[in-house]
Amino acid sequence: MRRDTFSTPELPPSSAPSRLSLDGVPLGQPFVVHRVLTDPRAPERARQLEEIGFNPGEQVMVMTRGIPGGDPLVVRVGQSTFALRGAEAACIQVEGTGGRAA
């Protein structure tokens, strides 16, 4: 079997940031907003979410989900708490912080 003399190093899994949408993250874990995506069905939604504080670098946490079905979500961003519909939360792309809530 022939091996190439060159290879590209692979990043360890822990060094690559995992990006998720806010509607799919576990409860009670801190995340950081990476960006707000535009929903083609509601293009004004991204601007509205940014106006209430969902900006890159802000810490967010899903506190609870409604029963039944998980909608709406109670979300803390910075020092504010909001209820978001699942479609709104799906527009917010987040990255893990690597830590747990205090």
Into how many domains does the chain fold? 1
In-domain check, residue 7:
no
Question: Residue 89 half-sphere exposure, CB side, CA atoms within 13 Å?
Answer: 26
CA nearest neighbour of 88 among 99, 101, 77: 77
pLDDT digits (tens, 9 = 90+) for 4-17: 444 334 444 444 45
For residue 60, the SS3 value is strand
Structural domain including 48 reads 18-96
**Residue 79, CA distances (Å) to 34, 38, 82 in order:** 18, 24, 10
- CATH number, domain of 49, equals 2.30.30.90
Q: Is residue 101 part of a domain?
A: no
- Unique residue bearing structure tokens 């822990």: 14
pLDDT digits (tens, 9 = 90+) for 17-69: 578 999 999 999 999 999 999 988 999 999 999 999 999 999 999 999 998 88
